Amino acid sequence: MSVAADAPRRIGIFGWLFGALISLVFGTLLSLTAVTSLIVLGWLMRRMRFVAFGMAGLPGDRPGWILGSGGRIARLFGGLAANIREGILAAISLAIATAPFAVIWLLSWWAGWENSFSKGYEQAFVGPALGLGGVAVFCVTMVWLPMALAHQAAENRGFALFELKRVRSAVRHSGWGYLFLALATVIAALPIFASRGLVVFASGIVPGFDDMSVDQIAGLQGGADLLVAAYVFVALVVLRGWAARVYARAVARALDGPEADLWVSSPLSDGKKGGNRPWRLTHWLRVLVLLAVWFGLAAQVFVGQFLNHDWHIWLTHPM
């Protein structure tokens, strides 16, 4: 995780630590606003491609935050431009993919929480019904979405996330590693959603909170936001890197099987091939377990939103 994009794959421990520190600072600060977080998303996409290529035994450029490769202008701004470009494309793809359940959840919140304040009890069933329907759509979507995001990163093409034949093939060949990735994601999300309750329980957590001035509370909130941003960034680096490795292994298995024709044009097709292909029966078993695991994340979303119910967050949780 270095600032320069054209760095060699093997670097010393001190170089790695310095690059990791720089990335932590950049990633944390840029994650604090919605606009600059697009740069972080683009950097993560490029890092996923770098990791996937490495797993396939292929050369790849280490992603930079600002610097790039090529001529003088490209060298100076290439990394930043690439991060912005890939971040915007990934955000659009994610917004389209998650809109079905995100919009349903937003309507559920309006029909449930907001409707209750208007004493609309005759329609009380609408909110829960929409919420459960949105949860079902969410769980099904999340079975393929992490792999689809890794696919778009590896392909370096806008909207490759929606190449469902390839994505389904990757999911089928992913093995149990994909299930463990989902479980780790749900566990890693716990502190994030727990932090949303700090506003509600601050008086019981922070000594003297009720006697603090507005400026003191603002400073406390700023520090909490910084810690949460740092945690989210580190968690995403780990989880997206893990997803890239699972994806690369899945493509290697698919290239050595009956679905190899699907992957002929893949950037990873010249890399490693082979591996133990999962049985079809275990694939469907993994899908059922994945649905249950992702339900755990949906539950966290609802609890976190109940504690701090800004309406627009329903549309941005999966981002």
* pLDDT for 174: 93
What is the token pair recorded at 269? 């097709």
Neighbours of 10 (CB within 10 A): 7
pTM of the model: 0.87
Contacts of the segment 42-46: beta carbons below 8 A, 24+ positions apart: 42/82, 42/83, 42/84, 42/85, 42/86, 42/87, 42/88, 42/90, 43/83, 43/87, 44/236, 44/237, 44/240, 45/86, 45/87, 45/90, 45/149, 45/152, 45/153, 46/82, 46/83, 46/86, 46/153
Return the higher-pLDDT residue of 111 and 59. Answer: 59
What is the token pair recorded at 115? 């409707």
Q: Is the pLDDT of residue 167 over 90?
A: yes
What pLDDT, in 10s, does the model give residues 13-57? 888 888 899 999 999 999 999 999 999 999 999 999 999 999 999
Residue 10: pLDDT band with limits 50, 70, 90: low
Average pLDDT, the chain: 86
Overall average pLDDT of the 69-88 stretch: 78
DSSP result, the chain: --S-SS--S---HHHHHHHHHHHHHHHHHHTTSTTTHHHHHHHHHHHHHHHHHHHTT---PPP-SS--SSSHHHHHHHHHHHHHHHHHHHHHHHHHHHHHHHHHHHHHHIIIIIHHHTT-GGGTTHHHHHHHHHHHHHHHHHHHHHHHHHHHHHHT-TTGGG-HHHHHHHHHT-THHHHHHHHHHHHHHHHHHHHTTHHHHHHHHSTTGGG--HHHHHHHHHHHHHHHHHHHHHHHHHHHHHHHHHHHHHHHHHHTSTTGGGGTTSTTTTS----PPPPHHHHHHHHHHHHHHHHHHHHHHHHHHHHS--GGGGGTTT-
Terminal C-alpha separation, the chain: 22
* pLDDT for 207: 76
* pLDDT for 244: 98
User: In the chain, what percentage of residues exceed pLDDT 70?
Assistant: 84
User: In the chain, what percentage of residues exceed pLDDT 90?
Assistant: 57
Identity of the residue numbered 57: G
Overall average pLDDT of the 57-72 stretch: 80
Return the higher-pLDDT residue of 248 and 13. Answer: 248
* pLDDT for 116: 56
Q: Is residue 305 a contact partner of residue 109, using CB atoms and an 8 Å limit?
A: yes
* pLDDT for 5: 42
Overall average pLDDT of the 292-310 stretch: 85
Return the higher-pLDDT residue of 199 and 212. Answer: 212
* pLDDT for 152: 98
Residue 314: pLDDT band with limits 50, 70, 90: confident
What pLDDT, in 10s, does the model give residues 179-209? 999 999 999 999 988 887 776 666 667 777 6
What pLDDT, in 10s, does the model give residues 117-135? 555 555 667 778 898 999 9
Residue recorded with tokens 């979507």 = 141
What pLDDT, in 10s, does the model give residues 266-287? 999 998 887 777 667 788 899 9
Q: Is the pLDDT of residue 77 over 80?
A: no
* pLDDT for 4: 42
What is the token pair recorded at 134? 């949105």
Side-chain-facing half-sphere of 118: CA atoms under 13 Å: 10
* pLDDT for 3: 43
What pLDDT, in 10s, does the model give residues 80-116? 999 999 999 999 999 999 999 999 998 888 777 665 5
